[in-house]
Amino acid sequence: MPELRNSTYRHLEVSPIAGTIGAEIAGVDLAQDLPEEVMGEIRQALLDNLVIFFRDQKLEPDRQLAFARRWGEIHLHPFMQGMEKYPEVLEIRKTPADKVNFGGEWHSDQAFAPKPAMGTILYGVEIPSAGGDTLFTNLYRAYEALSPSMQRMLEKVKGVYRGNNLSGHDGQSREKFYAGRLAMKTRDPGDVQTTSTHPLVRTHPETGRKALFVGGHLHKFEDMSEAESRPLIDFLMRHATRPEFTCRFRWNSGSLAFWDNRCTMHFAINDYPAETRIMHRVTVCGDTPY
The pTM assigned to this predicted structure is 0.92
* 3 within a domain of the structure (yes/no): no
CA-wise closest residue to 251 among 72, 103, 97: 103
| pLDDT tens figures, 188-242 | 788 888 899 999 999 999 999 999 999 999 999 999 999 999 999 999 999 999 9
Active-site amino acid positions? 107, 109, 266, 281
| Predicted pLDDT at 256 | 98
Reported as a pLDDT band with limits 50, 70 and 90, residue 36 is: very high
Mean residue pLDDT of the chain comes to 92
Are 193 and 83 a contacting pair, CB within 8 Å?
Answer: no
pLDDT confidence of 13, banded at 50, 70, 90? very high
Structural domain includes residue 1: no
What percentage of residues in the chain have a pLDDT greater than 70?
Answer: 91
Closest-CA residue to 132 (of 120, 124, 140)? 124
**pLDDT at site 116:** 96
What is the per-residue pLDDT for 2?
42
The DSSP string of the chain is ---------SS-EEEESSSSS-EEEES--TTS---HHHHHHHHHHHHHHSEEEE-S----HHHHHHHHHTTSPEEPPSSB---SS-TTSEEEEE-TT-SS-TT-SSB-TTTTSSS--SEEEEEEEE--SS---EEEEEHHHHHHTS-HHHHHHHTT-EEEEETT-STT-TT--HHHHHTTTSSS-B---TT---EEEEESEEE-TTT--EEE--STTEEEETTS-HHHHHHHHHHHHHHHT-GGGEEEE---TT-EEEEETTSEEEEE----TTS-EEEEEEEE------
In this prediction, residue 175 has a pLDDT band, given cuts at 50, 70 and 90, of low
Q: Choose the weakest-confidence range: 32-41, 86-95, 96-105.
A: 96-105
Residue 206 in domain: yes
Which pLDDT does position 211 carry in this prediction? 98
Give me the pLDDT at residue 78, please. 83
CATH of the domain at 248: 3.60.130.10
Mean pLDDT, residues 44-69 taken together: 98
> Is 95 a domain residue?
yes
> 139 pLDDT exceeds 90?
yes
Query: Which residue has better confidence, 189 or 38?
Result: 38
- Asked whether residue 122 is domain-assigned, the answer is yes
Number of structural domains the chain divides into: 1
The pLDDT value recorded for residue 4 is: 54
**Whole-number pLDDT of residue 99:** 86
Is 5 among the domain residues? no
Query: How big is the chain, counted in residues?
Result: 290
Question: What is the average pLDDT across 252-280?
Answer: 97
168 pLDDT band, cuts 50/70/90, is very low
pLDDT at 176 over 80: no
In a domain, 6, yes or no: no
Under the banding of pLDDT at 50, 70 and 90, the label for residue 178 is low
- Residue 7 inside a domain? The answer is no
Range of the domain at 133: 13-284
